[in-house]
Amino acid sequence: METDVTKQLFIEVSQTYKEEGTYTENCWKFLENIFILIPVTNSVLSALQFVFQTPLLPALDLLDNNKIKKIISPSGRCVFQVLGSSGTPYICLSVLTYCSCAAFRFSVLRKRDYILCKHLLAIKLGLAMEKVKEQEVTDEVMTDIIKHIE
């Protein structure tokens, strides 16, 4: 689960990203850039890799391909939708650190192999980099989305 260490990491990602502000279309290029430009970021990335492990690269890939959407309704409710690699949309609750994918149930909750699944990690990184699109829906649609969370 999320700890002070992970929270601090997302803050560092956010700060570094704001200082640099040169996110290109290509996340890999972004990674290369921050490796070259800011020594601090190098350590941030290493720390991200160390803490989040395998889900980090797929998460950056999701971010790179704009697969993350913040869905908001007039009543103020908000969920995140991440389009998985197979095209399956997963609903994530960022505040509660929940994802509807199987990896979250199995590798995060049951086996505790990882702190976050790639979808949640992509959301956290996307929020830190302010790279998450928003979509407004009606309260009825939001109710429907929430009702169908497994």
Residues that bind Zn ion (CB under 5 A): 99, 101, 104, 117, 119
Nearer to Zn ion, 13 or 117 (CB): 117
User: Please, what is the minimum distance in Å from the beta carbon of residue 94 to Zn ion?
Assistant: 12
Asked whether 23 and 17 are in contact (CB, 8 A), the reply is: yes
Nearer to Zn ion, 70 or 119 (CB): 119
User: Please, what is the minimum distance in Å from the beta carbon of residue 108 to Zn ion?
Assistant: 8
Asked whether 137 and 71 are in contact (CB, 8 A), the reply is: yes
User: Please, what is the minimum distance in Å from the beta carbon of residue 120 to Zn ion?
Assistant: 6
Nearer to Zn ion, 34 or 103 (CB): 103
Please give the C-alpha separations between residue 53 and each of 41, 58, 96, in angstroms, as whole numbers.
17, 10, 21
Q: Which two tokens stand for residue 117?
A: 């699944």
Instruction: Name the residue with tokens 């997302």.
Output: 10
